[in-house]
Amino acid sequence: MSSFTLHDLQASIQDMLAFRELGRFFALSEAFLEFIANTNPTRIVSPTHNNYVFYQYSQDFQYKITRPLNTNLFIESLNESKASFERFANFLIDLRKYREKISSQKAYKKYIEMGSVNKVVYTVQQAAGSISDSFQNPNQSRKKAGQLFEIFVRLIIQELGLVCEPRTVNIPIPGYPGYTMPYQLDLVFSRNKVLVTSETNYLDTTEIVGSVKTTSKDRIDKVFLDKYLLT
């Protein structure tokens, strides 16, 4: 019997303020994998793309089905995930130290080539997303998954020594002098640490704007919308 119930996992991702460090994301992912391993929900293999699987929850959760999980990226083994998360954390520490020279480090050459970073990021995000898929309200599910992914990416960037925060800027409305429109930017980051607070109303010329979305339909248009409105 798992020490974690699906109700426990749902409660965990409800508290956004608790996700202030990468370790919190790793712990949530491990809890989900432990839940899957011990409760053995129905595992559905896609008939058209066999590397994709879904998990179906019990009647208590209206037989909800998770998003498709790409097993070429998703780490299903709890033991493997623990080792992968620890290696990823060490990689970020060394990446901050060696920067662009990291790829020439013998200890990480194969690690980078094998796409291990992608596997960890994918596993963490899809574990959180799969938990959110169990909520009755699908809009709540998508919102939780998106918010957690933004926080996760921000923490990774901060771990590399960059200042990085969401930002809301006030954009003048053409033809209406004195009127502005608040516009939210997912991430604003800078190596020179010019960013002061997330409430700063403007952008510095050395700052970079980043868009963090979990679906293609959101990722594609957001980049162009940011450029258009900021211009």
pLDDT per residue over 154-203, tens digit each?
Answer: 999 999 988 888 888 888 888 888 898 888 888 888 766 655 555 556 77
Please say which residue of 159, 181, 207 terminates a domain: 159
Within a 10 A sphere around the Cβ of 83, how many other Cβ atoms?
Answer: 11
Tell me the C-alpha distance between 194 and 192, whole Å: 6
pLDDT at 201: 62
Residue 223 lies in a domain: yes
DSSP 36-64: HHHH--EEEE-SS-TTEEEEE--GGGTT-
Rounded CA-CA distance 108/36 in Å is: 31
In a domain, 1, yes or no: no
Alpha carbon distance 166, 199 (integer Å): 9
- The pLDDT value given to residue 7: 93
Among the candidates 133, 159, 185, a domain finishes at 159
Among 24-28, 51-55, 227-231, the range scoring the smallest mean pLDDT is 227-231
Buried b (16+ CB within 10 A) or exposed e, 33-70: bbbbeeeebeeeeeeeeeebbbbebeeebeebbbbebe
Angle value at C-alpha 68, between 65 and 74, nearest 5 degrees: 120
Q: Which domain holds residue 170?
A: 163-230
pLDDT tens for 74-98 read: 999 999 999 999 999 999 999 999 8
User: Does residue 219 register a pLDDT over 80?
Assistant: no
Are 56 and 84 members of one domain? Answer: yes
Report the C-alpha gap between 50 and 44 in whole angstroms: 10
Let me know whether 107 and 190 are in one domain: no
Q: Decide which of 140, 159, 178 is a domain's last residue.
A: 159
Q: Which two tokens stand for residue 212?
A: 């963090």
pLDDT tier, 26 (very low <50, low <70, confident <90, very high otherwise)? very high
pLDDT tens digits for 123-135?
A: 999 999 999 999 9
C-alpha dist (Å) from residue 1 to 38, 40, 63, 80, 138 = 6, 10, 20, 20, 28
Residues 150 and 171 in one domain: no
Of residues 69 and 169, which shows the higher confidence score? Answer: 69
135 and 178 share a domain?
A: no
Sign for the CA dihedral angle at 108, 113, 219, 223 comes to: positive
The tally of domains found in the chain comes to 2
Helices (H), the chain: 6-14, 22-39, 78-98, 106-113, 116-132, 138-159, 216-230
CB 210 within 8 A of CB 217: no
Q: Do 178 and 220 reside in the same domain of the chain?
A: yes
Residues 24 and 125 in one domain: yes
